[in-house]
């Protein structure tokens, strides 16, 4: 199968067949991955966070508890609709229908979470997303990259290639790697502008 002409239509079709096609709400894999991602964040709370490719908003709901403001986005209208219902209790969350990387939002963020979206964008789109993320990060910001390791459609990038692309962008931006998880099912990388570990940050206060 070749890469779809419109990713928005491709994903909207997935959500039309099943409101939770990847079992975000019921899968132990998803719950475990979210818990590990959240635990990897070097700060307790963030001022302004961004999650592109939020799907139904399950990770967004967890990020909302640690963010003063959170922008979540997806290019599938049905996913955006579901996410808005899921995140209705969180007044600080805004959900938009945006296609990455072309619709990257303005402003800066101190947390950007790229989870299971970059490998759908092709090599050029993935590189553009990585550059936009590092360029939009605040001086004290955190960048997270997390992707499934077992492949998918033939046209998708491999998770290793995605994370190498983000690692290069992080290096160019002088970010420091604070977490690297090579789980059997996913890769998780976290970079920070602050070189201090969590324990050293606490001691420095």
Low-confidence ranges of the chain (pLDDT < 70): 1-6, 8, 10-18, 21-22
Please state the pTM of the whole predicted model.
0.91
In this structure, is residue 165 part of a structural domain?
Answer: yes
Residue 154 lies in a domain: yes
Per DSSP, the three-state class of 203 is helix
pLDDT at 15: 66
How many distinct structural domains can be found in the chain?
A: 1
Residue 4 has what pLDDT?
A: 56
Residue 1 lies in a domain: no
Residue 28, both tokens: 């132990």
Query: What's the full length of the chain, in residues?
Result: 205
pLDDT of residue 127: 98
Non-local CB neighbours of 60 within 8 Å, separated by 6+ positions: 51, 54, 70, 72, 83, 86, 87, 93, 95
CATH of the domain at 125: 3.40.50.150
Q: Is residue 169 part of a domain?
A: yes
Answer for the pair 10, 4: CB distance below 8 angstroms, yes or no.
yes
Q: What is the pLDDT of residue 205?
A: 73
Domain of 112, in residue numbers:
7-204
Residue 2 lies inside a defined structural domain of this protein: no
Residue 194: the pLDDT is 86
């Amino acid at each position: 199968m070749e890469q779809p002409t419109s990713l928005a239509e491709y994903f909207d079709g997935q959500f039309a067949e099943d409101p939770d096609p990847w079992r975000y709400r019921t899968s132990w894999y998803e719950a475990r991955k979210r818990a590990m991602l959240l635990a990897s964040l070097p700060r307790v709370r963030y001022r302004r966070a961004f999650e592109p490719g939020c799907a139904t908003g399950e990770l967004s709901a967890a990020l909302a508890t640690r963010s003063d403001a959170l922008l979540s986005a997806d290019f599938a209208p049905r996913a955006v609709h579901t996410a808005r219902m899921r995140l209705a209790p969180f007044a600080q969350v805004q959900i938009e229908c945006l296609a990455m990387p072309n619709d990257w939002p303005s402003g800066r963020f101190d947390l950007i979470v790229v989870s299971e979206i970059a490998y759908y964008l092709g090599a050029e789109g993935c590189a553009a997303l990585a550059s936009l993320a590092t360029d939009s990060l605040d001086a004290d910001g955190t960048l997270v990259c997390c992707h499934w390791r077992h492949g998918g459609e033939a046209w998708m990038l491999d998770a290793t290639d995605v994370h190498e692309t983000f690692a290069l962008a992080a290096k160019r931006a002088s970010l420091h790697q604070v977490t690297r998880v090579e789980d059997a099912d996913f890769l998780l990388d976290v970079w920070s502008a602050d070189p201090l570990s969590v324990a050293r940050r606490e001691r420095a206060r």
